Amino acid sequence: MGIFQRFARLPLKPLCIWSLCPQYSTAFTVGRGLIVRSSQLIQHRYVHSRGLGASPGNLGAAPPRLPFSRVTQEDLAFFKTLLPERTITDPDLLKSCNVDWLKTVEGNSEVLLRPKTTEEVSQILRYCNERNLAVCPQGGNTGLVGGSVPVFDEIILSTSLMNQVITFDNISGILTCQAGCVLENLSNYLEERDFIMPLDLGAKGSCHIGGNVSTNAGGLRLLRYGSLRGTVLGLEVVLADGRVLNCLATLRKDNTGYDLKQLFIGSEGTLGVITAVSILCPRKPRAVNVAFLGCSSFQQLLETFQCCRGMLGEILSAFEFLDASCMSLLKKHLKLTNPITELKILFHTQALWSLRERITEALTHEGYTYKYDISLPVEKIYDLVQDMRGHLGGMAKNVVGYGHVGDGNLHLNITSPSKDPVLLAAIEPYVYEWTSEWKGSISAEHGLGLKKRNYIYYSKPSEAVALMGSIKAMLDPKGILNPYKTLPDHIH
């Protein structure tokens, strides 16, 4: 408590506080732009266990290939004429684009297209729609649910060369850029102009803003700046038939008709390909303070969170936590130091933040990782971790929890020496049933992608899923855009 009392006397300027404890760790940031990083079972719709393409035992597996056309030499000739030197067919160059970041999903695409302009994307999709060729849009390929890589032989449409800033208004703070801009590059661009991006992710060095918007990424600043559904002002999107939907507004208020951009935020490339984004960016805080606290229980962590919010109000921009198991993995695999036990060492802000941002990296050294991105009432976040440990017993190598206390988002990670179907069967659907029981969401910020598409009914009623299917059929009647993702194999 002494650490926190000293923190309470700090001047009101951006501060980030981390809290670590024998079982729980917390981090949060505050500033004048404060950034703290740091029942009864409801009726389940088990429709995903009947008649699906994926086997009932593994609903995240790939369904059978749909009857799309296969790429011919005539198709390649068209693409090479449209994109000379940017139509890639070399298997060695295609390999990294066919595999997801976790190396758990691998497709077999034979063609990678790298357009530079919206017009090129439009021509590609118009042609693919006419030829019934499936397309997998791909940004930085940092997704964790298999949404950004092909399942079979879909054409990969990369936005990596669409990386230009179009405009920036230093009065309003509105940035307009192409979808392939890397998040960290945009952050650097804005910081030179005394602004920041409203989102920050551990994958910022690789992820693209278009992919962030397509998955409605949350990240480390959501507590203060809100989600992309609020900060994104406009989008330019190419539809499945090649039509360009220009809703690239730069107005904070526009109440003329339906807000169509919301259809594409979080749609994971299944309704259209985002080619440009306009986003509202806040001013850069004059200072950022980070505090790392140790708590002896999750209840104490929650009490600390309440206290921080009461004292700091809107300047608290992040409040993160990691448990002792996460800290052990950081020390074991990445040789990072525990700030709570090494009080004589001076830790800089970035060093504290790296403890939170590099947990995923540390987990990759543990073997195979089953990852779950769960949204729950804040007080229930860690109950799931503890219940999962009890449920699995000695079947798992590690069960760890970390995430965003400020918005009720838990990252539950379960490791084993290698991929283990028996362990997976014990985890799923237990984790989704538990989440549904407490009226949570099975995907807080990662999306559904390939792996979680058939579990959507744990979070959405059948009427909502049916409406989603109708929207998909209207905008992409041939289903060429990112097939096998987001929506379940069969809609009821």
pLDDT of residue 202: 84
pLDDT of residue 28: 52
Residues 151-162: tens digit of each pLDDT: 999 999 999 999
| Residue 299 pLDDT exceeds 50 | yes
Report the first-to-last Cα separation within the chain, whole angstroms.
Answer: 53
Residues 7-35: tens digit of each pLDDT: 333 333 334 444 444 455 555 544 333 22
Closest by CA to 402, choosing from 419, 414, 394, 390, is 414
pTM score of the predicted model: 0.86
All structural domains of the chain, each given as residue ranges with its CATH number in brackets, are: 24-41+289-452 (3.30.70.2740), 165-280 (3.30.465.10)
pLDDT of residue 346: 64
Whole-angstrom Cα distance, residue 162 to residue 386? Answer: 44
Name the least confident of 11-25, 157-171, 296-310, 475-489: 11-25
Output the CA–CA distances (angstroms, integers) from residue 172 to 251, 278, 280, 341, in the order listed: 9, 12, 8, 45
Segment 81-108 mean pLDDT: 95
Q: What share of the chain in percent tops pLDDT 70? A: 88
Mean pLDDT estimate for the chain: 88
The full length of the chain comes to 492
Nearest-5° Cα angle at 291, 286 to 293: 165
Whole-angstrom Cα distance, residue 86 to residue 148? Answer: 19
Whole-angstrom Cα distance, residue 369 to residue 418? Answer: 8
Residues 216-234: tens digit of each pLDDT: 999 889 999 999 999 999 9
244-269 core/surface letters (b: 16 or more CB in 10 A; e: else): ebebbbbeeeeeeeeeebebbbbbbb
Q: How confident is the model at residue 56 (pLDDT cuts 50, 70, 90)?
A: low
Q: Which residue has the higher pLDDT, 38 or 373?
A: 373
| Residue 50 pLDDT exceeds 80 | no
